[in-house]
Amino acid sequence: DAKTTQPTSMDCAEGRAANLPCNHSTISGNEYVYWYRQIHSQGPQYIIHGLKNNETNEMASLIITEDRKSSTLILPHATLRDTAVYYCIVRVFWGRDDKIIFGKGTRLHILP
């Protein structure tokens, strides 16, 4: 089973910041938080990941709480092309137990 919980769906106005929450209250000390998104009929696309520090790249920012029990993915200026299902995943450092289990994700609708 997935170790994360996310809202089923969210709306965000185009041009505004989209903030997608994720709860992972049972996360272990060596597990990373990963975010992927899936646009209809395509494979999931990697967005960002982190362990305990906040991270930023050209696509998004990842804010992880100090206790690591939750995180927020931030798309700073959402566009219509950001409409997708967003998945939050916890993943142990690679090894023979690297199963990478996906949950149901959040369906993000960007409204014009």
The verdict on 3 binding other proteins (CB under 8 A) reads no
Contacts of 26 (CB under 8 A, 6+ apart): 3
Could you say which residues in the range 65-94 bind other proteins, by CB under 8 A? Answer: 87, 91, 93-94
The verdict on 5 binding other proteins (CB under 8 A) reads no
Of 85, 67, 64, give the one whose Cα is nearest residue 22. Answer: 64
User: CA 108 to CA 12: how far, in whole Å?
Assistant: 7
Number of residues that bind other proteins (CB under 8 A): 24
H or E stretch at 37: strand 31-38
Of 32, 70, 38, give the one whose Cα is nearest residue 50. Answer: 32
The verdict on 2 binding other proteins (CB under 8 A) reads yes
The verdict on 56 binding other proteins (CB under 8 A) reads no
Binder to other proteins among 34, 64, 83, 88 (CB under 8 A)?
A: 34
Q: Give contact residues for other proteins (rule: CB under 8 A).
A: 2, 32, 34, 36, 41-46, 49, 87, 91, 93-94, 96, 98-105
